[in-house]
Amino acid sequence: MCGIFAYLGPKSNSAQIVLEGLKKLEYRGYDSWGIACRRDSGEIVIEKHTGKISDVSSLKKELTEEPAHIAIGHSRWATHGGVTDMNAHPHASEEKEIVIAHNGILENYESLKKDLIEKGHKFVSETDTEVFAHLIQENIGEGFEQAFKIALSKGAGRYALIAISKNEEKILAARRGSPLIVGTGSDEYFIASDIPAFLKYTKKVMYLDDDQMVSLAKDGITFTDLKTDKKIEKRTIIIDWDEKSAEKGEFKHFMLKEIMEQKMTLTRAINQDEEKILEVAQAIKTAYGTYIVGCGTAGKVGMVGTYLFSHIAQKHINFMFGSEFSSFLPFMKDKSLMIAISQSGETADTLEAIEEAKKKGVKIVSIVNVETSTMARISDIVIPIKAGPEKAVASTKATTSQLAILTLLAYACAGKLDEGKRLLVATASQINDMLNPRYENYIREIAEKIQNVESMYIIGKDLNYPIAMESAIKLQEVSYIHAEGFAGGELKHGPIALISKGTPCIAIVANDETKAGIISNATEIKARGGYIIGVSPENNSVFDFWIKVPDAGMASPIVSIIPIQILAYQLAVLRQNNPDMPRNLAKSVTVK
C-alpha cells in the first residue's frame, strides 16, 4: 500500500520528476497524493490532493517556477484520518522546517502527540504520520540526522519514512518492515517503494533493509545501521528490466509476471466495498450452515478459509470441492449460505453446485476475478478479487487475492474488520519487499539443485496444511514433478514410507503454536534421509535450505505460497517446460 518516491540530483525540475514517478506507483493503491520540493533558496513548497495522480499532467507553478533539486512525494491509502487534502502526505512541522512522507502505522502516536502538544506543537491533520515531523523538529537542535534518529527511536510499529529539511540539501530515509529502494544514477539519487518509479532513469539499485537509514546528498550516499549507529556498505545491483516492452513487460512468461504482480493485486483485493464485506459477514453469522465450494486451487483456498473462520471468528464453516458437492446437498436449507470461489467464474463443477444449491433457496456469494462471468451473474452477492487478467494456467495472483478476501471476511465476522485490514495492508507491504530479483535468484538456486528429482513432498499444519496441498498443485502443474502435500502429523501414518535419501521435502513453518510440531515432523523426515527445504520466518537447524518469508500471523498462507509459486516456475523453466501453458490443462475448466 501507499507509494514513496523522492529525487535528489542535478535536474532542477525535481517536483515534475517525482510526479511522474508517483504515477508509476499507482498500482500500489491510494486515495490521495502529494509532493514537496525544496527550492534552492531553502524554502519548501507542498502540493497535496485527493483523487488520481494519472489525471494530473503538471503541478502548481509554486513547485515549478523556481529551480528545485530535491523533491519527495507520496501516494496515500488512508488509515488514520479521512481522505482529505489536509491528511494527504507529505506532512510538515511548524514553518515547514521539516517535511516528511511515511508508509506504515505509528502505533504509539497518541501518547507522542499528547506529549508534543504539551510542549507547544500544533497539529493540522488527523494522521499518525504528522507526529514524526514534529518529533524531528523537537530535537532539531541535535542536527537533522540525529533528530531523525531520535524520532525513529521513539516510534513503535512498521514504517518507511523519508524526510527533508529546509536547512540542509539532503534526503534522509529509513525503514522497518515497509520497503524502500535506492536508485543511483549519474550524480543523482532516487528512493522509492518500488523500482518502476525510477526505472526510466537508472537500473542501479541498493536495497534498504530493516532498521537501516540512508542519507542522500550531493556529495554521496551513506547507509547507517540504526541498531549500532555504524556506517555500512551496500552492494549495487543492476536490474535487468526494460521500462516497457511487450504485453509480458520485462518478463519471459506470464506466470512470472503474475507472481510479481502480487505486489499490486493484494492491495486491490484488500480495497473492497466495506459495506459488502460486512453484509456477507452478517449473512455468515445468521446462516443455517455456511458452505465454501471451489475446485483445484480455489478449493485449497476454501480449505484455508475453514481454518481462518475457526481461529479468527470461532465460526464453523464447511468446505467441499465442487465435484463432490452433491453428496452434501441434503444438508442445504433455504437459510444456508454458499460461498463459491473461482478465478474465471466459469468452473463447471462449481457452477453446477451453485445451481443445485439455488434450487433449495440457498443464498450465493461468489468470490471471483471475472465480474462478467456466469458465476457472478447467478450469485446474490459478488466480491471481486480485482486481480486483473491472469493468463498463465497456474493460478498465482488470483490465489493470494482469494485468500485475502476470506481473511477479511473472517475478521469481519469477528467484528474486527479494521484489524484484518491492517494485517493485510502490512502483509501486502512485506510481499512487495519479498518480490525482488534477489529473492527470485535465491529460489532459483534450490530449483537448480532439485530440478531432476522424480518426487517431492510438502508438509504443513493448520492454516498451512491446505497450502501444502496447493504447493503440490503448483509443482505438478508446471514442473511435472510428482508432488504431494500432507498434514505434517499424518506422516507417520503412511507417507513417511515414501522418504528415501535425498528426497526433497518442503516444510511450511509458521511462527505460531504449530511451529514445534511441524519442526518435529521435518526432523522425522530428515532422520530418514530427506532433504528439508524450510519456508519460514526463521531459520532452523533442521533446514538444509531456508526460504525466508515474513512473519504474517493469520496471513501466513498468503506469504507461504508465494516462494513455492516461484520455485515451481523456476523448475518449469529449468526443465524446459512452458509454465504458461502446461500440458493437459486449461485456464478455465468449463467441462465436468
Question: What average pLDDT does range 554-576 have in this prediction?
Answer: 96
The CATH class of 264-574 is alpha beta
Predicted pLDDT of residue 4: 92
The residues with which 4 forms a beta bridge, in sequence order, are 74
CB 319 within 8 A of CB 307: no
Check 2, 37, 413, 505 and give the catalytic one. Answer: 2
**CB burial readout 27-40, b (16+ within 10 A) else e:** bbbbbbbbbbbbbe
Predicted pLDDT of residue 80: 76
Above 80 in pLDDT, residue 549?
A: yes
Predicted pLDDT of residue 277: 95
Check 285, 449, 515, 587 and give the catalytic one. Answer: 587
* DSSP-derived secondary structure letter, 208: P
Above 90 in pLDDT, residue 142?
A: yes
3-state secondary structure of 210: coil
CA 84 to chain centre: 25
d(CA 40, CA 184): 21
CA 425 to chain centre: 7
Above 70 in pLDDT, residue 484?
A: yes
Above 60 in pLDDT, residue 507?
A: yes
How many CA atoms are closer than 13 Å to the CA of 388, on its beta-carbon side? 15
Residue 210 banded pLDDT, cuts 50, 70, 90: confident
Predicted pLDDT of residue 244: 47
Catalytic, 37? Answer no
> Kind of pairing, strands 482-487 and 381-384?
unpaired
What CATH code is assigned to 3-238?
3.60.20.10
CATH 3.60.20.10: which residues of the chain?
3-238
Sign (positive or negative) of CA dihedral 405, 411, 416, 420: negative
Predicted pLDDT of residue 589: 47
Q: Which of 104, 152, 127 shows the shortest CA–CA distance to 430?
A: 104
* DSSP-derived secondary structure letter, 249: B
Measured N-to-C along each axis, helices 464-479 and 296-313 cross at an angle, to the nearest 10 degrees, of: 170
- What HEC string does 288-336 produce? CCEEEEECHHHHHHHHHHHHHHHHHHCCCCEEEEHHHHHHHHHHCCCCC
pTM: 0.64
Note the pLDDT tens digit of each residue in 81-115. 888 888 888 999 988 899 999 988 888 888 988 98
* DSSP-derived secondary structure letter, 553: G
Above 90 in pLDDT, residue 559?
A: yes
Cβ-based neighbours of 143, under 8 Å, separated by 6 or more: none
User: What grid cell was written down for 489?
Assistant: 502429523
Predicted pLDDT of residue 590: 33
Q: Which of 241, 236, 242, 125 shows the shortest CA–CA distance to 183?
A: 236
- Provide the residue type at 365 as one letter: V
Question: What average pLDDT does range 113-123 have in this prediction?
Answer: 90
Residue 455 banded pLDDT, cuts 50, 70, 90: very high
3-state secondary structure of 554: helix
Pick the more confident residue, 486 or 79: 486
Predicted pLDDT of residue 592: 46
Question: What average pLDDT does range 303-317 have in this prediction?
Answer: 96
Predicted pLDDT of residue 155: 87
The residues with which 47 forms a beta bridge, in sequence order, are 35
Above 80 in pLDDT, residue 78?
A: no
Catalytic, 587? Answer yes
CB 425 within 8 A of CB 270: yes
First and final C-alpha spacing in the chain: 39
Cβ-based neighbours of 91, under 8 Å, separated by 6 or more: 99, 100, 101, 102, 125, 127, 129, 130, 132, 133
Note the pLDDT tens digit of each residue in 339-382. 999 988 878 788 889 989 999 999 999 999 877 677 887 899 99
3-state secondary structure of 48: strand
User: What grid cell was written down for 478?
Assistant: 508446471
Mean pLDDT of the chain: 89
Q: How far is CA 549 from CA 20, 508, 556, in A?
A: 32, 10, 9
Predicted pLDDT of residue 361: 94
CB 592 within 8 A of CB 484: no
Query: What is the percent of the chain with per-residue pLDDT over 70, rounded to a whole number?
Result: 96
CB 487 within 8 A of CB 460: yes
CATH 3.40.50.10490: which residues of the chain?
264-574
